[in-house]
Chains A and B, each alone.
Chain A
Amino acid sequence: MSYTPTLPAKDFILYGETFSSRFLLGTALYASPQLMRDSIIQSRAEIVTLGLRRQNPADRSGDAIWQFIQESGCRLLPNTAGCKSVKEAVTLAEMSREIFDTDWIKLEVVGDDYNLQPDPFGLVEASEILIKKGFKVLPYCTDDLILCKRLLDVGCQVLMPWGAPIGTGQGLLNRYNLRTLRERIPNVPMIIDAGLGAPSQATEAMEMGFDGILLNTAVAKAHNPPLMAEAFADAIDAGRKAYHAGLMQKRQTASPSTPTIGQPFWHQQ
Chain B
Amino acid sequence: MINISLNNEPKQIERGILLSNALIQWGFGETKIAVAINGEFVPRSTYHERQLNDGDQIDIVKPVGGG
Binding site for B on A (CB under 8 A): 26-30, 36, 49-58, 62, 65-66, 69, 78-79, 81, 87-88, 91-92, 94-96, 98-100, 166, 194, 215-217
Known A54-B7, A94-B41, A98-B34; contact A36-B65, beta-carbon cutoff 8 A: yes
Binding site for A on B (CB under 8 A): 7-8, 26-28, 31-36, 39-41, 43-44, 59-67
> Is B62 touching A53 in the complex (CB atoms < 8 A)?
yes
> Is A30 touching B34 in the complex (CB atoms < 8 A)?
no
Residues of B within 8 A of A217 (CB): 67
Interface of A is mostly: mixed
Tell me, in angstroms, the Cα distance from A236 to B62 when the chains sit together.
32
Residues of A within 8 A of B32 (CB): 66, 99
> Is A52 touching B67 in the complex (CB atoms < 8 A)?
no
Residues of A within 8 A of B36 (CB): 91, 95
CB distance from A77 to the nearest CB of B (A): 9
> Is A57 touching B64 in the complex (CB atoms < 8 A)?
no
CB distance from B19 to the nearest CB of A (A): 14
Query: Which of the residues B27, B39, B40 comes within 8 Å of A57, measured between beta carbons?
Result: B27
Query: Which of the residues B7, B62, B66 comes within 8 Å of A27, measured between beta carbons?
Result: B66
Residues of B within 8 A of A54 (CB): 7-8, 59-61
> Is B60 touching A65 in the complex (CB atoms < 8 A)?
no
* 12 extra A-B contacts, CB within 8 A, seeds A54-B60, A55-B62: A26-B66, A49-B66, A51-B64, A52-B64, A53-B62, A54-B8, A62-B62, A69-B65, A78-B66, A95-B34, A98-B41, A216-B66
